[in-house]
Amino acid sequence: MNPICVSVIIPAYNASATIGRALEALSKQNCFQPYEVIVVDDGSLDNTGTIVCSFPSVKYVRQDNAGPAAARNQGARLARGEFLAFTDSDCVPHEDWISQLMAGFSHAQVGVVAGSYGIANPESCLARCINAEIVWRHNRLMPDYPNSFGSYNFCVRKNVFEAVGGFDTAYRSASGEDNDLSYKTIASGWRIYFERKALVDHYHPVLVGKYLNEQFRHGFWRFKTYRDHPRMMRGDGYTFWKDIIEMPLGVLALLGWTVIAPLLIFEIIFAWEVTRRFFDGIFFGFVLLFRAFARLFGLSTGILSFLLKKNAKIFQ
């Protein structure tokens, strides 16, 4: 029997709606490397475990709810592979996903290979717009060797993952823990390679309220990330000047309502640039305006919470 080369790790919490399709896709991978699939159930309250156990080849482990960072670390401890490939329970890997990720390690001093997104629910206007922005950023901004990656789609050498301490379990929500791991990997001397052909289709949010709540959470945890890695306050390969000026503009808009109209026009222009659809551009422009405020309020709340050392009570 060939030794396991790649361990695919999926954290799952109340993932019954999507985990079956994710595991079905992983059972059909076209790759030469022997691989295993590990699902860490982070205390789900639905029938996620039943669905996972219907796939006999998948290793299933359940833990008390501790967040996706802790779940991924648990999967890494159980992994037998030399390489750890991570994706999420609402992602559907393409058939060549593992092969494309592994090919990236042929580049010198690469410790991590990161991939990109497709879309699993294009019938939703919001999901289409979110995906269009991500693809635009990946195509226009991300270099071949970025300084960050997303936890939804990457593969790391197990020895590198262990050497940098894995995911920081202080991130109790899915936000910031991947940036933290990225920055620790770069600081340790390894490179990140961005393989654009390594794709997973993602179920993006379909409800504006849920999306804005996620963005509030991202803003909340950003303070911890910048506190731990102050050099990265200048941005990474995924962000650009628009992201930097949005928050100051948001503050000005709160102080003087006349700034909101120019900010909205600015967001609509960008939304049209990424979507190339009239209705989607108008709709997403309004969403981006509210997103700017959600991130601003999240960052403000995060600063106050962390400074007052009450962050442990939030988002658990």
Going along the chain from its start, the domains and CATH numbers come out as 6-206 (3.90.550.10), 220-313 (no CATH)
For the chain, the 3-state helix, strand and coil shares in percent, each to the nearest 5, are 50, 15, 30
Instruction: Answer whether 8's CB lies under 8 Å from 33's CB.
Output: no
Q: What angle do CA 38, 42, 43 make, to 5 degrees?
A: 130
Q: Considering the chain, what percentage of its residues have pLDDT values greater than 70? A: 96
Q: Which residue has the higher pLDDT, 151 or 246?
A: 151
HSE-up (13 A, CA, CB side) for residue 244: 10
pTM: 0.91
Residue 39: the pLDDT is 98
Residue 312: the pLDDT is 44
pLDDT over threshold 80, residue 123 = yes
pLDDT over threshold 90, residue 40 = yes
pLDDT over threshold 90, residue 196 = yes
Residue 184: the pLDDT is 96
Q: How far apart are the first and last CA of the chain?
A: 42
- Which one, of 144, 182, 142, lies nearest residue 160 by Cα? 182
Residue 316: the pLDDT is 41
Instruction: Answer whether 111's CB lies under 8 Å from 157's CB.
Output: yes
Q: Which residues contact 44 (CB under 8 A, 6 or more apart)?
A: 12, 13, 14, 15, 16, 62
pLDDT over threshold 80, residue 254 = no
Q: Rg (Cα) of the chain, in Å, rounded?
A: 19
| Average pLDDT value for residue range 56-82 | 97
pLDDT over threshold 70, residue 315 = no
CA pair distance 239, 217, nearest whole angstrom: 17
